[in-house]
Amino acid sequence: MTSANIKLRKIRRADLKYFLKWWRDKELIKLTSGITEKSTKLLAGYFLDLLNNGKDRHYLILLHHKAIGHLAIMHKNKDLFEINIVIGEKEYWGKGYGELAIKQALRLAFGRLKYKKAYLEVRPDNKRAIMAYEKCGFVKNGIKKYPRNKYQPVVFKMVLSSQNKPIV
């Protein structure tokens, strides 16, 4: 497996079908954001907001031209971004594709985009994701509580700075 197998492509309007599928998957919801089930109209509106957001960068993760997930580089300030990733196609879980996509995103963010620090949030029970993040150089640095979110009441916070980033 090489990073050449994985490509990040900016999302397009035609990608809505993938997002609708992934955002309706109960297992994915429990592992990620805790988005609750909503109508197609509401989810499509949320997708259009992502598509038209000028600050953040949203990518489809492609494996040999097949959409397998979504990755976002979310601008917080000139030095800081949040990274979000979902491998939406379950047959690709645990195979290292998320790690490869994250490393590509980090090269972009720390290189061309000139960010200095990345952070993310992850559910403590999402062991595969935590392992991938640690392989990319992220370290746990705290816990955040969301008492009103039944899917995500507690998350680990993880950070990575450009000074201590691994070779990716």
Q: Packing angle between helix 127-135 and helix 97-110, nearest 10 degrees?
A: 40
Residues 6 or more apart whose CB falls under 8 angstroms from that of 136 comprise: 99, 102, 103, 106, 160, 166, 168
Orientation of helix 40-52 relative to helix 16-23, angle to 10°: 130
Class assignment of domain 3-161?
Answer: alpha beta
Sketch the domain layout of the chain as residue ranges.
3-161
pLDDT in tens, the chain (168 residues): 456 689 999 999 999 999 889 888 888 877 776 556 677 888 888 889 888 988 999 999 999 999 999 999 999 999 999 999 999 999 999 999 999 999 999 999 999 999 999 999 888 888 889 999 999 999 988 877 766 665 556 667 788 877 765 545
- The HSE-up count of residue 12 (CA atoms within 13 Å, CB side) is 4
Q: Model pTM?
A: 0.87
Round to whole Å and give the CA distance between 92 and 94.
Answer: 6
